[in-house]
Structure 1
């Protein structure tokens, strides 16, 4: 992207009355962001939602002065800028009507991985919530997903630290510009996050740090992701906003249920009760529901299982499952010509030996 184009994008962002949706309308109508500032005023009035006040403010010279200052900050700090019409912009975000026209990025991200999930939840996460979050990331690690969160206290940082531990890419979506970090105590994690992914924000360095920024930031978290997972939430909270946004984008939402007496489970229980989220009780529900498959090289052979000894019938079932991605118990019994009750017993023994694992829907696969 040229500096001239970046300057015009920033100037458009700085204009009053123009958000991301109106900005996209203007760009589509005029053909480019530069052309907006040259377009005849009468032609701009033909665009739905664009009025005289918007057009009058658009030509305020202060927008370009502010844009120059912000561009200087961007260049000085080596910040990457992803424009919504460029191929390096996250593909899933292009499907969201209110996605940022410009994303600021730092870090080493691979945005080609299609398996992107956001993990959100309570800032005052319980020990049980933290344990489930860590287990979730650990069991999803073989599928190599990207973990997106908000770099906040509680669930967010738990998920991102777990991603780093298991050498997964993680992306922190910030509610402020790159001139600061919130919370300040998380500054110590920034280097590791940047090495294993990085940060996104659509806020300028001069943007005021406000509570509403977090709600606006949540659309990026939801928009980047194939699915959003809510670990814990009180009756109201930012995680529920993220879940609602994800639903509006027609993305999958999962919620971890809890006891009805637990205040930090009310939000998740309500999401499930009102059919706004799938119930998530087992981490492996995620790859099953999202139809993820392990790469062949990631499926260890029986020799890698510390030379586990298999009984003859177990070997039959194992050999059969090696030819399948995953299969139902009844189908295994039919194809292996073994009684269902016996196959159920064999599968249990093989699970205890660490060779196979059960999946939702009475499915089984080799680990």
Structure 2
């Protein structure tokens, strides 16, 4: 764990400093450490920081660092990764959203920047129809290698996690509690399996109980880190519709499975479709076509055939990671290349330059890079 990590965690313990202000402070000061070392006059020049907040940061910084030190020790003991929003492991889809949590607690082995991520949410009291549809969708998504995100709750959530584990797909449970508290407790056995095939994720520190207000906050992470949120059965007034609303507000794709008009558990999904807040999902192919996965895959096959085999012995591991991304996409913007290839930003420019010298990559306008055919 880096020395900077203590300062990054400490920011989450400062009074009056919320998610958005944390990111503004780091942006203006240059680092979390610089925020906590900045004098009051400098802090007051940051937009959104008045004298009260600036003095609070200075007065509470030491205590926040002590709390952060305790968190780092617990994280080390419990094998929890602390992902600050500047980390290459932080979910990039989520990072781009204004209310994204600056710090995440993560246990697991999956890449949170997986190339295809969907979230599946729904009622805690599903019918046999809802359960069967959940299992069928996930089984039919196996060839597309998706990651399945849900909230580890009763009903559709746990059915989605269970089906993903069965299908051999990575699955992430986003929790409203601390990383050391699995709620509900009866799902602990599934959560433990997910640590080997996915993981559990939360913005809450150790010991945090899953109080009611934390669930809507949790839902923004589920919606934000996914390419598409699929709603399978939901009552008209339910937390599931909050997740769909959040995804909609993020300009993310939302799909809903239509249901029996006499079933209270289909009122919410049918309303989403009727009010054009969700595209209708009657077959898994609807999702694949909406996200253009079929086109992506056929293009990738054509590119793989057109590109001569690359000998890994000729390239460093980081160069091969970049080349694999470009083989899939043909061309890519530099910012996207970094997180897709999982190459740190400070190394990426030299990796791309080396690939240009080797004659396999070319720079294009708009900070784009492409493979040379």
CA-CA distance at 1:112 after TM superposition: 4.3
SS of residue matched to 2:234: coil
Shift in Å, 1:21: 0.6
Partner of 2:164: 163
Secondary structure of the corresponding residue to residue 247 of structure 1 = helix
Deviation at 1:208, TM superposition (A): 4.1
Is 1:43–2:55 an aligned residue pair?
no
Distance 1:209 1:187 in 2: 15
* CA deviation after TM superposition for structure 1 residue 272, in Å: 1.3
Query: CA–CA distance in 2 between the matches of 1:66 and 1:265?
Result: 46
SS in 2 for 1:229: strand
Q: Which runs of 4+ in 1 moved over 4 A?
A: none
SS at match of 1:141: helix
Unaligned runs of 5+ in 2: 302-373
- TM-score where L is the length of structure 2: 0.76
1:140–1:284 Cα contact (<8 Å) kept:
no
In 2, the alpha carbon distance for the partners of 1:157 and 1:6 equals 33
* Structure 1 residues 299-338: aligned runs within 5 Å: none
**Alignment correspondent of 1:107:** 108
- Matching residue of 2:122: 121
The question of whether the paired residues in 2 share the 8 Å contact of 1:201 and 1:217 is answered with yes
Partner Cα separation in structure 2 for residue 39 and residue 157 of structure 1? 46
| Cα deviation, residue 182, structure 1 | 0.3
Whether the 8 Å contact between 1:231 and 1:256 is mirrored in structure 2 is: yes
Q: Report deviation, 1:199.
A: 1.0
Q: CA deviation at 1:164?
A: 0.8
Q: Which runs of 5+ in 1 are unaligned?
A: 300-367
Q: Shift of the alpha carbon at 1:65? A: 2.2
Partner of 2:25: 26
Is residue 286 of structure 1 aligned with residue 290 of structure 2? no
Q: Is the 8 A contact 2:182 2:191 kept in 1?
A: no
Matched position secondary structure for 1:195 = coil
Deviation string, structure 1 residues 98-125 (Cα, Å, up to 9, x no partner): 1121111111103343210000000111
The Cα shift of 1:157 comes to 0.5
Deviation at 1:168, TM superposition (A): 0.6
Residue 176 of structure 1: aligned partner: 177
How far apart, CA to CA, are the structure 2 residues paired with 1:112 and 1:223?
Answer: 12
Residue aligning to 1:71? 72
What are the Cα deviations for residues 15-74 of structure 1, in whole angstroms up to 9, with x where unaligned?
Answer: 111111110000001111110112221222232222223222223132222212212111
Residue matched to 2:239:
238
Secondary structure of residue in 2 paired with 1:191? helix
2:22 pairs with 1:17: no
Q: Per-residue CA shift, 1:255-296, capped at 9, x if unaligned? A: 111233321111112211221110111122110111113857
Count of residues in Structure 1 that have an aligned counterpart in Structure 2: 297
TM-score (norm 1): 0.77
SS of residue paired to 2:12: helix
Q: CA–CA distance in 1 between the matches of 2:34 and 2:126?
A: 49
Q: Tell me what 1:205 maps to.
A: 206
- 1:51, 1:267 → 2: CA distance? 43
Q: 1-side partners of 2:53 and 2:271: how far apart?
A: 41
Deviates more, 1:142-151 or 1:53-62: 53-62
Matched residue, 1:217: 218
Partners of 1:37 and 1:74 in 2: how far apart?
22
- What is the alpha-carbon distance in structure 1 between the residues aligned to residue 210 and residue 227 of structure 2? 28
Deviation at 1:223, TM superposition (A): 1.0
Q: Distance in 1 between matches of 2:45 and 2:36?
A: 15
Deviation at 1:215, TM superposition (A): 0.9
Bigger Cα displacement from structure 2, 146-155 vs 48-57: 48-57
The answer on whether the counterparts of 2:89 and 2:111 sit within 8 Å (CA) in structure 1 is no
- What is the root-mean-square deviation of aligned Cα atoms in Å? 1.8
Segment drifting more, 203-212 vs 122-131: 203-212
Residues 150, 173 of structure 2: 8 Å contact kept: yes
